[in-house]
Structure 1
Amino acid sequence: MRTFHSQLEYVKQELLTMGSQVEKQIHRMRQAFAEMNYATMDQIIEHDHLINQLEIGMHDKVTLLISKQQPVATDLRKLIVALKVSSDLERVADLVVDIAKQSQRMKEQGLVSFKEKLETMFSIAEAMMHDALKAYEASDMLLAQKVAMQDDRVDDLYGKIIRELFQLDNSDVEIDQVTQLAFVGRYIERIADYATNLSEWVVYEVNGKHFDLN
């Protein structure tokens, strides 16, 4: 029979395992987007239900621990953060699936320069998610704050891409390609937002205070 604190550590390790799975989805999708690899995109879409199951399992474990142990103060915060982080990770996985579905509608050689700009955005968002999970693992508030600082870069790139996309001459482009690129950019921008959310949960877990790091 595990002690309560060993159960808390188990929850954290399970959550980090879920985070690792989401990271793999992000990485595979970034590569698939760069290569327009539709087969990998299909696999990413099919894999999503596994992450959904991990989130449901985490919710059940944490809810049971709270009801049985009735933790307070720091221990309760850790469990609340686990619920929030697992929910955010599941939503990130959904966004990766959304990117896959939109990308499958794109032409392989359509608007290449914009696609390359989105790849840059994607790389930053991927690094943010990786560092946010590292910050959670180590309870590292400084790293969490550094992650949040990167969000402005993603927002700026996204804003610039959108402005340039909608300034294109309609006679030279297909409007559905512009729309799909805009959606992909929005989903990447949301992944970066969730990485910032994770960083904010790290700060809350450590000191019990809510800070808007964005």
Structure 2
Amino acid sequence: MTGVAAPKQGMDMTVTPTGIEGVFVVQPEWFEDERGFFFESYSKRRWEQHGLHLDFVQDNHSRSSAGVLRGFHFQNGLAPQHRLVRCTVGAIYDVVVDIRVGSPTFGQWFGIELSAANRTQLLMGPEFAHGFAVLSEIAEVQYKTTGFHNPAAEGLLAWNDPDVGVRWPVENPTLSAKDSANPSLATYLANPAFHYGESA
């Protein structure tokens, strides 16, 4: 109607492909003033406007101290998960590794700093191993998944595999007993969970 402003439809976001197919950097818009800030960390409607049709079913939240490194983790085809990761306290260096056998980027990695300050998010498909290192005194990480956690589907990859060669910004990280013994990419190849071109 003339003279009536259209109702606001919420804040937008940018979705930027990375050098690895299936991994995207998501940057929401936010409003900030002297009181603080506000932004939509997730909007199903907004995602669908960007062509992202994902049904998230579980939210996870972790808290870690400086120097902690978690990863690499994934769930295989028994319970595949897309993951949308963000850091809500402190800062982390977030990394994904392509574990699709036959992919032109198999074994390659992408890393980005996620922080409470930059509000950046990272979206990855099921066919990627994921890990992060804490850059701040404390970091809290929250991530949405399209599948439920299933211990029988858990997969692991060594954080320091030279065949992957991640350049972590943390020296002598603190690891769990499990993560300190994760298998190599060569071991993964003996029984791979994902192949390029196959739907997870």
Do the two structures share a fold, i.e. TM-score over 0.5?
no
TM range (shorter): under 0.3
Q: TM-score if structure 1 supplies the norm length?
A: 0.22
Larger radius of gyration: 1
